[in-house]
């Protein structure tokens, strides 16, 4: 092979390698996605009990608005440090009926920051399960 031919062969090999690598990582990513991620509507089917708080939250669609690490998205604020603002009981009550807490300055800011987005009420979820979520969030 001439020198330019060797160069072309090397580049081609590198290109194919990168392509294969990107395919591999893509597959790994799609494996991890949960079914609820693409729907902002919280799922109401609570057939599987004994879920961890984290699984419960992805099932209910919290991640869609609050992010997979609760870091916040364009659709909802971060809920990584809610212990700053909520006690366990209050937080459970909040999850059951968010609008009744919406009159503080903090929540008025949320309204401006996330126009049109409303934190859905989870009153159809058992208090025990909400307690699990509250415990998890308060420990963050
Ligand atoms: C449709 C989007 C959406 C979903 C789904 C959602 N939230 Fe929210 N959440 C919001 C928005 C927007 C706010 C800001 C307050 C408001 O606008 O009502 C909020 C506020 C909160 C707060 C108060 C944050 C603070 O600073 O006090 C908590 C806690 C919370 N959400 C937890 C949850 C949990 C837990 C779930 C799942 C069970 C959930 N959210 C699902 C959009 C959502």
- The tens digit of pLDDT for each residue in 56-97 reads 999 999 999 999 999 999 999 999 999 999 999 999 999 999
Q: Which atom of ligand 1 is closest in space to residue 106's alpha carbon?
A: 26
Q: Does residue 76 sit in helix, strand or coil?
A: strand
State residue 20's pLDDT score.
80
Q: Is the CB of 138 under 6 A from ligand 1?
A: no
Look at the alpha carbons of 11, 12, 18, 22 in this order and tell me if their dihedral is positive or negative.
positive
Q: 7-60 pLDDT, tens per residue?
A: 888 888 888 888 888 887 776 665 555 555 555 555 555 555 789 999 999 999
What distance in Å separates the CA atoms of residue 66 and residue 78, rounded to the nearest whole number?
6
Nearest CA to ligand 1 atom 31: 119
Is residue 7 packed enough to be buried (19+ CB in 10 Å), middle (13-18) or exposed (0-12)? exposed
Look at the pTM and tell me if it is higher than 0.85. Answer: no
Which residue matches tokens 């693409």?
A: 38
State residue 76's pLDDT score.
97
State residue 45's pLDDT score.
54
Nearest CA to ligand 1 atom 19: 119
Domain ranges in the chain? Answer: 1-32, 53-139
Give the residue from 131, 140, 59 showing the smallest Cα distance to 95: 131
Domain 53-139 CATH assignment equals 1.20.120.450: no
Q: Is the CB of 62 under 6 A from ligand 1?
A: yes
State residue 139's pLDDT score.
93
20 CA → ligand 1 middle, Å: 39
Tokens of 81: 């440090």
119 CA → ligand 1 middle, Å: 4
Q: 111-128 pLDDT, tens per residue?
A: 999 999 999 999 999 999
């Amino acid at each position: 092979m001439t020198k330019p031919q060797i160069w072309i062969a090397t580049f081609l090999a590198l290109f194919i390698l990168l392509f294969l690598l990107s395919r591999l990582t893509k597959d790994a990513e799609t494996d991890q996605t949960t079914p609820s991620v693409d729907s902002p509507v919280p799922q109401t089917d609570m057939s599987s009990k004994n879920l961890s708080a984290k699984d419960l939250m992805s099932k209910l669609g919290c991640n869609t608005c609050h992010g997979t690490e609760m870091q916040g998205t364009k659709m909802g604020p971060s809920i990584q440090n809610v212990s700053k603002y909520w006690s366990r009981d209050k937080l459970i009550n909040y999850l059951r009926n968010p609008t009744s807490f919406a009159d503080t300055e903090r929540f008025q800011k949320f309204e401006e920051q996330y126009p049109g987005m409303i934190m859905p009420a989870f009153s159809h979820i058992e208090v025990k399960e909400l307690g699990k979520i509250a415990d998890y969030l308060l420990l963050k």
